[in-house]
């Protein structure tokens, strides 16, 4: 589990798995465009691709939220004014 809490690993996953293949456009971007267009003709394997290529970005968002919470301290209850 520590693996998914390391910025370097998560960023590497985003660049390698999240955006691959790069040409002619990142795979995830093409799937997002397909979904935003109504997802007409998408099969189960296409949805699996969205989950597979999108998972690193979910981890990245999770890390960002944890970092923001850490920077913010304990919140209003913990502040002693």
- For 30-63, how does the pLDDT look when each residue is reduced to its tens digit (9 = 90+)? 999 999 999 999 999 999 999 999 999 999 999 9
DSSP letters spanning 14-42: IIIIIT-S-SSS-HHHHHHHHHHTT-TT-
List the chain domain ranges.
2-69
H-helix or E-strand containing 45? helix 44-71
Q: CB of 49 within 8 A of CB of 27?
A: yes
The per-residue pLDDT for range 4-34, each reduced to its tens digit, is 788 899 999 999 988 888 888 888 899 999 9
Q: What is the mean pLDDT of residues 67-80?
A: 70
| Calpha distance 72→32 (Å, rounded) | 32
Tell me, what's the pLDDT at 6? Answer: 85
């Amino acid at each position: 589990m520590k693996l998914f809490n390391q910025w370097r690993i998560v960023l590497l996953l985003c660049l390698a798995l999240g955006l691959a293949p790069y040409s002619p456009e990142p795979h995830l971007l093409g799937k997002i465009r397909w979904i935003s267009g109504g997802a007409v003709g998408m099969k189960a394997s296409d949805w699996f691709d969205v989950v597979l290529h999108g998972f690193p970005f979910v981890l990245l968002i999770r890390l960002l939220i944890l970092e923001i919470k850490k920077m913010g301290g304990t919140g209003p209850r913990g502040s002693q004014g």
